[in-house]
Amino acid sequence: MIDLWLFAKDYAIPALQNLVMRHLMSNTIFGMPSQLSKQDIEYVWSRYSPDGLEHLKNLLVLPLVAQLESRDSVQTIDDFEDLRVSPEFMCKVYTAQREWLTFQPPARYKNKWTALLQSEKVKAAVMVEEKVPAVMPAPVVAKKQKPAGFAKGEVIVIDD
């Protein structure tokens, strides 16, 4: 799914980016924060340039922070030794950690993680703005051409 999001970013398809984000945020993918692997995070931070990936990075840091704050977590921030040297990575981790610790889910949610993913603040941080062109180009329609008539020509006789 991360590759699909990156494809949509490279080809400027924000609707597809948002569709992938909604799928990633659904309970089937990120229902539990532990489904995010260290390789997913390292893949995005180390392989691609920092410009234009803010939305994806914002989404990938949230489950990491939720994992780190969990009592039964097997990961620590020390596991991300290579990324800890990146000021951008640590800034996002601290920002997400503050968001996680201060977030108070509404009473209708039993799970803090699900409530956080449904919050407007998180949605605004991970969704890409879909811009509609001011003027939609007119569809190109080929004009129907009349079939050319048959020209008088030489008659060909076929021998039996």
Q: What is the pLDDT of residues 81-128, one digit of tens each?
A: 777 667 788 888 888 888 888 888 887 777 777 788 778 888 888 888
User: Can you give the length of the chain in residues?
Assistant: 160
Give which of 105, 42, 35, 44 is closest to 63, Cα–Cα: 35
The half-sphere exposure of 110 on its side-chain side, counting CA atoms within 13 A, is 1
> Residue 113: exposed, middle, or buried by beta-carbon count in 10 A (0-12, 13-18, 19+)?
buried
Tell whether the torsion through CA atoms of 126, 25, 107 and 98 is positive or negative: negative
pLDDT tens digits for the chain (160 residues)?
A: 888 888 888 888 888 988 988 888 775 455 555 566 777 777 777 766 656 788 888 888 887 787 777 666 666 777 777 776 677 888 888 888 888 888 888 877 777 777 887 788 888 888 888 876 566 566 666 566 666 666 677 777 787 6
pTM, two decimal places: 0.66
Q: How far apart are CA 95 and CA 48, in angstroms?
A: 21
- Going by the DSSP 8-state scheme, the letter that residue 50 receives in this structure is S
Q: How far apart are CA 8 and CA 83, in angstroms?
A: 25
Q: Residue holding tokens 């800034």? A: 91
**Helix (H) / strand (E) containing 37:** none
